[in-house]
Each structure stands twice: as structure tokens, then as C-alpha cells.
Chains A and B, each alone.
Chain A
Amino acid sequence: MFAYIVRRTISGLVLLVVMTLVTMMLFFSGPLHPERHACGKICSPAQIAVTKKAFGYDKPVLVQWGQFMQGIVKGRNFPEDKKLEKDHPELVVHCTAPCLGYSKYFTQNVTTLIKTSFPISLSLAIVAFILWITGGVLFGVIAALRKGTIIDRGIVGISLIFYAFPTFFIGLFLYKFVSIKWQLVPTPEYIPFSQNPWSWLTGLILPALTLALFFMAGYVRMTRAFVLESMSEDYIRTAKAKGLPARRILTKHTMRAAFTPLVTMAGLDLAGLLGGAIITETVFNFNGLGGLAVAAATNNDLPILVGLVIVLASFVILANIIVDVLYAVIDPRVRVG
């Protein structure tokens, strides 16, 4: 198992490195001119060239990529200019390792930017995850046990409604009614957990619910399908034939088998959500990673984009490894022999 984790981690790291290169190459292959964007309304070709140099975009992609990798390992200076560093050290920003780059637009280290935004996305993802897993599994199991009845159809139908409506609609709807009109929860805003855990939760609950309602629909249907599938397995018949009570068959035999495939889905969905939920964050005005990504894209801000790619990809790769390890924990056929 240990060897397996090591092997997966190594291949994951290699994948990350390749992804940064691919992102950079894609960025420069497109019709984007970040230097043009940055230098203002009236811009002479000479000025553009200077800006380009200042950004370091004049060098070949591979060199830029090399500098980027170096930044992650050793840290780097912006701009990379020995003369400027000597003459005007105040104009040079040092970025310590692991340095994901420096955003001219935000005039901040990308690492710092991500560090600021990440807790917001993380909180949102975790609360939403807990909500949708609990709800999805609970309603999915109920629907499966009441298969074909009005309860089953009701649960599946209602979850579909939430899935079908656009996220911003659900979000705005909840905002308007639950928070503003009925005042059941305070106005959604991000308050750090360390500051006040209760406010953290109440501030998050609406955006988290918006996300959860969207994801829940899928989980209700999947849970229902997996439980039904598991209930028709031969070993459930064996359990019945042994004389086990129905409740024990459900909790011990049916559920365990049904949840295994859910673990995969849940792990990957959570990892994806950690990278930010763009629409929900925008609706509720949360400055998470989603917002950062939008800002970076509209401003052609390469360092932030590459930084976000790395962070997001790391989560997905990590989630994959964790899911596989969990699989081995759950399923002895993977673990032993």
C-alpha cells in the first residue's frame, strides 16, 4: 500500500509539472496580449516592448517555464533584472519559495492571493459537501426503500428541480427570500472560522446550500440506484436467508456495498469544488478562488492562472489518491490478494 501511494504521488507530481507547461503554452498560443492590456489606452510599440520585457514575456516559453519552476523551488525576483536590482532595489519584488509568480494586476504574490482566497472556497466547499452528502444519501436511501411509491417519485422529482434550475437562480432566490425577506439567516458573508465559528457557519449557510442543492440531485439518484442494485445482489438474499433483521441487512450489507462507488464521486466532486464555485461566489459576493480565476482570466493574468491550475490540479490528484486508498480500506478485494 505504501509503495502504491509513493508511486501515485510521483506520477501525480510529474503530471503537475507537465500541466504547468501546457498551461503556459496554451496561454501564449492564443491571441492574448497581456502587455498590451497592461500598458494603458494609448500605447506605442516601444512601450509595449518595454512592458513585455518587464513581464518577462519576451523570453521563449520554455525559459519562462524554467524560471517558474525555479520560483517554486528557490523563489525568484520580479522583474528578473540584475541591474535594476542593484540600482533600484525598491522596485524589485522578491517572492520566496514556493513562488507561484507575481500578479502585476493585483500587485501581489500569487501565493499570497491564493492563500487569502482559499479559506473562503474551502469553507464553502466543506459545508456544502457535508450538506449534500447527508441529504443526498439520506433521501437516496429513503427513495430506494420506498421504490415506486409517491415518496420515491417525490424525492427524485424535487431533487431534479434543483438540478434543472440555474445555480444563480437558486442562489438569488435563497438570498432574496431566506435572508432578506424572511430574515431566517444573516446576510451571507465570509467570517473566518477562527474569529467566530457560529457566524462562520451562518454566513456560509446560504451559498453552501445553493451548491449543495445542485450536487444533491445527482447524489440522490446515484444513491438510490446503488442501493437498489445492492439490494438485488445474491449476498443480500443470503443475508435474508440467514434470518437477519431487515434493518441489519440494510445497514451492514446493503449500505456498505452501495456506498463504495459514491466515495469516488464524492472525492472528485469535493476536489473540484475546492477550486472555487464561480457562480455561487459571484452571487453571494464571496472572494474565493472562483472570483480570483474570473479576475485572472479577464485580465490575462498568466501567473494567477498557472498558480490556480497547480492548486486545482493538486487537489484533484490528491483526491484521486485518497479515493483509491479509501477503496482499499473499504474493499478487501483491492487490499488483499
Chain B
Amino acid sequence: MTDINLTPASEDIPDVPEVVVGAPPPQLDPSAKPILEVDDLKMYFPVKSGGIINRTVGHVQAVDGVSFQVPEGSSLGLVGESGCGKSTTGRLITRLYDPTGGSIKFDGKEIANISQRQMLPMRRDIQMIFQDPATSLNPRHSVGAIISAPLKIHNVLPDNKIKARVEELLEIVGLNPEHYNRYPHEFSGGQRQRIGIARALTLQPKLLVADEPVSALDVSIQAQVINLLQDLQREFNIAFLFIAHDLAIVRHFCPEIAVMYLGKIVEIADRETLYGRPHHPYTQALLSAVPDVKQAQIGGRRERIRLKGDVPSPINPPSGCRFRTRCQFAQEICSRVEPPLLQIGPRHKVACHFAGELGAHPAEPIPQSANGGEGAPANQPGFEDHWLNLSTGQTASA
């Protein structure tokens, strides 16, 4: 019964976004100035003992030494599975949490350790979009009140101009400005997410942290919201930290992507490199796990890297490389030495002792024999060999 749509048909909702083929989404511009620089960011949550004296016996290392940059007006994608620390990272940057260590520079200004009071003016420039628009909008406030709240808090507009601005914002995100006085429950999921976006846009931020902005939406609505975000990014030159678990959507939205595992970035690269020639075995496994529609042509399931077991506990992460317990290539050194995040290409960093030696993953969804000539560049030395190795589960020679 859960999936019955009881909300009345949305007759009066403008037919949303007219499919305009505008300018292509921004590509990675290596010379762009970073709006956000994160360096060695750490967030440890204490674990209490539960004894007679409630002392701290350990820490959940939710985020452990994460560094990345988001160029002005561009997007960085953060992907990874649940518990990898991607959402925590987003919350650290918006200072919903106080980081345990590290530095967050926004527009050249250090914000990691400033007080909430000092943070207040910065909040105009850093806004957040949440996953679930049903719970992140106050059901007792009208849409107008929700969107105008930031204007009132920061006192940027005289009261008599607020309504016009809110109506303008509603129009920008593709909602009817006449819906100013309606309440969130009167809108569908996709429209509620548009309200959330309008609220985030109110103060003309320079950086939007979008935490799974479309994963609660139906597929046909996801595309509407993604297109809207792309249009807004182009129009207002907003930088995005785009947090999601859907690899295809992240690739579509972000020119540069970081893969997280157990609180650390294991690989960061521009999208062509990351999806075409991933070097970290975890990235390879992640990519090969995505089911692909094109598989229908040949039927059945394709060969893929099968990760065994579960993600270890972040309270007591494995020594050395955190991925080694599930890595089919793990060697003795992996348990002793933690691999640093090393630069191996112009915009490509990997944290693996054997980076570059493990070859590409079988990026092509369809086995090579079934379909020739497209997909992953096979020009990398040893690609064929490694592909076979991976699919048969043998250890690559290191």
C-alpha cells in the first residue's frame, strides 16, 4: 500500500523543465581557483564504555584524514558505500559537526575551528541540500516561510522585498510562484526537493553541499532535479560537493570524483580516468558491481569482481590499508604499511601499494566478445591480461 499516490493530480503544476539542450555541463578546468580546500580533515566520534564511570574507550574514525579541493563553479563528487564517511564529510564542511582535526578553507578563509558565531556569515555562502525533502522541511511552515527564513536570519533584504525574492526563487526552481502560501505536504517528492533547493539558493551561495539530493526520488523525477541543479550551477556559478552512492549520477554530474572507503579517500580523479581506468581495487569493484541495462542484449549477469564479506568496523579499522581485508590482491605489505594517497596522473591520486599494476577493471559491461569497439580504452598495457585475471578471481602478479 505504501506506493499509492494519494496526492491529487498536479494539474496546476507547470510542466517541468522544458527539455532545452543548453550548454554542456562544466568540464574540469585545471586552472580554476579552488573555492573549498580541505586538508587532512578528521572526525572521530567517541565511543563510551558503559561501565560505572562512563569513559571513552575508543573512537569511530568516521572521517580520517581526507583532503580534496572543489574548484569555483565546479563539482566534486564523493562516492562510497554506507558508513564510508561521505555524509560526515559534508556535515563537517557545513560545520554541522566540529572537526576533530584538519583544515577546511573556504574562499581562502580557514573555517574548521571558528566558532558558530563566526561561522554565521559564512553560512550565506555554504548551503546544504538534504536527501529526504519530506523530513528536512518543517511541515508547519509554508513554502514562503521556509524559503524566506535565510533572508530574515541574515537580514539581507528589507521586509517588503522578501516576497518578491521568494517568488523569483520559486520560479527559478520550476515551481509556481503562486504556491507561496502552500505547505510542504501539498507537494510531491520532486517538488519538495525543489523547495529545498530554492531554500539553499536564497542567499546566493558559492558552494552547495548536496547530500544524496536525488536518491529519495523516483527515477523519472531524479533526472528533472539533476538537470535543474546543472542549470543552476551554470547560471549562478555555484560549486557543488555532490555526495551520492549512485555512481552513474555522480559521473554525470561531477567532472572530478573522490571514492571513499572507511573514512579515507582511496582514489580521486577526473571522471574519464576514474571510470575508464580506475586504479584502486575498491573503485574497480564498485564500478563492476553496477548493474547495467545494456546487459539485456546478451542476457544473464556479467562477470564482476565479487567483494567478500562486509565493511569492517570503523572503531577498529584494519591496520595498514583499510581495504586489504576484502582485497583480492592484498599482499603482506598491505597489512603493515598504510598506502599514502599518491599522485599518479595529472589529476589522479590513488592510495594503493600496487596502483598502476592492477590494470583496469572490466569497465565494459558486455564481455569483449559480444560487442566490439566501444567503451573502455583497451590501449592500456596489460589490460586484457588483467581483465581475465579479475574475472577468474586469480591474484594479479604484483
Chain A interfacial positions (CB closer than 8 Å to B): 3-4, 6-7, 10
Min CB gap B53→A, angstroms:
8
B346 within 8 A of A: no
Question: CA A7 – CA B52 in complex, angstroms?
Answer: 5
Residue of A nearest to B2 (CB): A234
Residue of A nearest to B51 (CB): A3
Q: Total interface residues on B, using CB and 8 Å? A: 5
Q: Classify the interface of chain B: helix, strand, loop or mixed.
A: loop
- Residues on A with beta carbons closer than 8 Å to the beta carbon of B51: 3, 7
Min CB gap B314→A, angstroms:
15
Min CB gap B57→A, angstroms:
13
Q: What does the 1/0 interface line of B26-56 toward A look like (CB < 8 Å)? A: 0000000000000000000000001111100
Residue of B nearest to A234 (CB): B2
Q: Could you list 10 examples of A-B contacts with CB < 8 Å?
A: A3-B50, A3-B51, A3-B52, A4-B50, A6-B52, A7-B51, A7-B52, A7-B53, A7-B54, A10-B52
Q: Which 3 A-B pairs have the closest CB atoms?
A: A3-B52, A3-B51, A7-B52
Chain B interfacial positions (CB closer than 8 Å to A): 50-54
Min CB gap B153→A, angstroms:
36
- Residues on B with beta carbons closer than 8 Å to the beta carbon of A7: 51-54
Min CB gap B50→A, angstroms:
7
- Residues on B with beta carbons closer than 8 Å to the beta carbon of A4: 50
Question: CA A3 – CA B53 in complex, angstroms?
Answer: 8
Residue of A nearest to B49 (CB): A3
Question: CA A3 – CA B48 in complex, angstroms?
Answer: 13
Question: CA A57 – CA B53 in complex, angstroms?
Answer: 39
Residue of B nearest to A5 (CB): B52
- Residues on A with beta carbons closer than 8 Å to the beta carbon of B50: 3-4
Min CB gap A336→B, angstroms:
12
Question: CA A3 – CA B50 in complex, angstroms?
Answer: 8
Task: List 8 additional A-B contacts (Cβ < 8 Å) besides A6-B52, A7-B52.
Answer: A3-B50, A3-B51, A3-B52, A4-B50, A7-B51, A7-B53, A7-B54, A10-B52
Question: CA A7 – CA B51 in complex, angstroms?
Answer: 8
- Residues on B with beta carbons closer than 8 Å to the beta carbon of A6: 52
Min CB gap A198→B, angstroms:
47
Question: CA A4 – CA B52 in complex, angstroms?
Answer: 6
- Residues on B with beta carbons closer than 8 Å to the beta carbon of A3: 50-52
Min CB gap B55→A, angstroms:
11
Residue in B50, B52, B53, B54 whose Cβ sees the most chain A Cβ within 10 Å: B52
- Residues on A with beta carbons closer than 8 Å to the beta carbon of B54: 7
Residue of B nearest to A232 (CB): B1
Min CB gap B396→A, angstroms:
38
Min CB gap B251→A, angstroms:
33
Residue of B nearest to A2 (CB): B52
Min CB gap A6→B, angstroms:
5
Residue of B nearest to A10 (CB): B52
Question: CA A10 – CA B54 in complex, angstroms?
Answer: 13
- Residues on A with beta carbons closer than 8 Å to the beta carbon of B52: 3, 6-7, 10
Question: CA A4 – CA B50 in complex, angstroms?
Answer: 7
Question: CA A259 – CA B158 in complex, angstroms?
Answer: 54
Min CB gap B222→A, angstroms:
25
Question: CA A7 – CA B50 in complex, angstroms?
Answer: 9
Min CB gap A210→B, angstroms:
40
Residue of A nearest to B53 (CB): A7
Question: CA A3 – CA B52 in complex, angstroms?
Answer: 5
Min CB gap A231→B, angstroms:
13
Question: CA A7 – CA B53 in complex, angstroms?
Answer: 7
- Residues on A with beta carbons closer than 8 Å to the beta carbon of B53: 7
- Residues on B with beta carbons closer than 8 Å to the beta carbon of A10: 52
Question: CA A4 – CA B48 in complex, angstroms?
Answer: 12
Question: CA A215 – CA B54 in complex, angstroms?
Answer: 37
Question: CA A278 – CA B50 in complex, angstroms?
Answer: 40
Min CB gap B280→A, angstroms:
31
Question: CA A7 – CA B54 in complex, angstroms?
Answer: 9
Question: CA A6 – CA B50 in complex, angstroms?
Answer: 11
Min CB gap B19→A, angstroms:
38
Question: CA A261 – CA B115 in complex, angstroms?
Answer: 39
Question: CA A186 – CA B51 in complex, angstroms?
Answer: 53
Question: CA A4 – CA B51 in complex, angstroms?
Answer: 6
Min CB gap A243→B, angstroms:
20
